[in-house]
Structure 1
Amino acid sequence: MKPSFLPLFLISGLLPLASQAALIATERFDYADGSVVGQTGGTGWNYERNDEPAAPPQSPSNWNNEFGTHSIVSSALVTNSGGVRREFGGATEGTGSDSNEREGAFRASGTMFFSVSYTAVTAGQWSGVSSYDFSGPGAEKIFWGAPGGGNNGAFFGIDVNGSGQTISTIPVVTGQTYTLVGMLDFDADVVALWVNPDSNDTATSYDVSRPYTGGNWSTALRLASGNQVRWDDLLVGTSFSDVVAVPETSVPLLGLAGAALLLKRRRRGC
C-alpha cells in the first residue's frame, strides 16, 4: 500500500493561517495497468489562478500523450522513450480566453512547485519534469531532473530552453528512488531543484538553481524520459510546504502539544 498524504492535509487544516499557499493537484497513478492517456484521477487539476469569465465550468484536466512509450504499471507511471503532459487548469484546453488551461496558467508571475517520486530503472539517458507553455513545438520551457546532452542523464540538474544547463554533483543511481522537488519562481527570477529534501530544507535551500527571466506562461507539467523511469506521488502547489510531505510523527506530536496546552490552561483556570 502506498503511504498516505493524510498527515500533510491534517496539518494544513489545523494551521490555516500559516500560509496563503495552495495545493493545486495530486496524482498517485492509481489506475489499472495500461494507458494513462485520458485519465483524470488524483485531486485538483482544475486550478483557477486567473479570472476568465468566458471559460466553461471546470472539471479536472486529463493526461495527454506527448510522444513515445508510457503506461501504468502496478499503480505507477512508467515512461520509456516517451512522455505525458497534464494541465493545471481544467478540461478545456487551448490558448483562447474560453480555455480552462489559460485560467490555470502562471502568466509570468507567481511561484509553482512540484514534487514527484522518481526511479531510473535503466541508465544512460535524459529524464525529468518539464514546464509547458501550452502545447506544440517549442512549448517545453524548463526541465528539472537528469538532463541529456553532455550530461547524458548522469547527474541531476536543470535545463532551460534556449539558455543552457546547470548540473549538480548529485549522481543519478539506477534503481534508487528519489523525491524530486522543483520550483519555478517568476517573481524572484529563479528555477531550482531539490533532490531528497529533508526536514531541514526550505524554499531557499535548493541543491541546484539557475537564474530565469523568461516571460513565458506555465500551463502544465510533462513527465518524460529517454530511458525507462518509474514515476509516482506527484504533487503540485504554490509553496514549498505544499509539496514536501510532513513526517507522520508530526501529527501525534502536534496532538500531544495541543493536549498539553489545554491541560496547562485548565490547571491555571483559563
Structure 2
Amino acid sequence: MADHHPERQSNIDAHGIIGDMRSAALVNDRGSVDFFCWPEFDSPSIFCSLLDTPEAGIFQLSPDLPDARREQIYLPDTNVLQTRWLSERAVVEVTDLLPIGDSEDDLPVLMRRVRVVSGQATFHMRCAVRHDYARARTHARMDAKDVAFEADDQPSLRLASDQTLRIDGNAAVAEFTLKQDQSAEFLLGGIDDPRFNEGAAGLCLERTLKFWRDWSGQSNYRGRWREMVNRSALALKLLTSRKHGAILAAATFGLPETPGGERNWDYR
C-alpha cells in the first residue's frame, strides 16, 4: 500500500515554479505540486493545497528517505526544475517541467520524471486532481493503464505512467522501488493529448531544454550579476502569456542595468 501522509502547507519560499507560458505550477521542496491552475494562468485550480489542505488537490511524488537533505535547483539556463534528496542510503532527483508545445493552443502537460542517482529507494505517488478549487466533485476512474479525472462542466484530465497505477479515494496512487540509474515517468494533461504516446516524454524534455536555452542565450548582458539577471528573466518569460502575446519590460521589474545603462534583453 502506498504511504499517503497528510502534508502540511509549505512556505511560499520552499517552492520552485515551472511553466509553459500558458500556465504555471508550484512545486515544493518535498516533491509535491501544490498549486496548479489548468489549462490557463487564470483557470480554476486542479491542485490548491498550498492555500488549503491536500483535499484541495495535490500531486505528491517523493522517496521514502525521511533523513535526506533536500534541495531544489533549475537545470542551467532553463525553467526545468529538479528536486533532490541526498542521503547515505540513496540520492534521488525528481525533474519537473511543463513542456513547450508546438502551438500556443497546445494544452499544458505536467511532466514528472524521477531517477535514482545512487542507491535504492521506494517511492510514493498520489495524484489527487480536484477541479475548480475543489468545489467540483472530481471522479477518478481507470482507463486501461491510465487514470482519468472527470467532473461536471470541467475539462477532463489523464494521468499516464510507466508504473502501475491504481485508485484510492478518487486519487491515483502508486508505490514502486527503483535502483541506481532506474527512472519512472508521470504525465498529467488533457485526456486526449497526443503527447501521451510512448516515447514522447523524452522528446518533450529535450525540446523544452533547447527552447529555454536558446531563449536565454539571446542575452548580451555579461556583467557580474549575469546569473541573477538570467534567472529573473527566465522567470518573467515563464509568466508571459504566449497565447495572448504579452511582452514584459525589464525596466518595469527593476532588473540590473548594464554598465552602459541599458537593459539588454528581448522578452519576445
TM-score normalised to structure 1 length: 0.30
TM-score normalised to structure 2 length: 0.30
Which of the pair is proportionally richer in helix?
Answer: 2
Greater relative CO (CA pairs within 8 A, separation 6+): 1
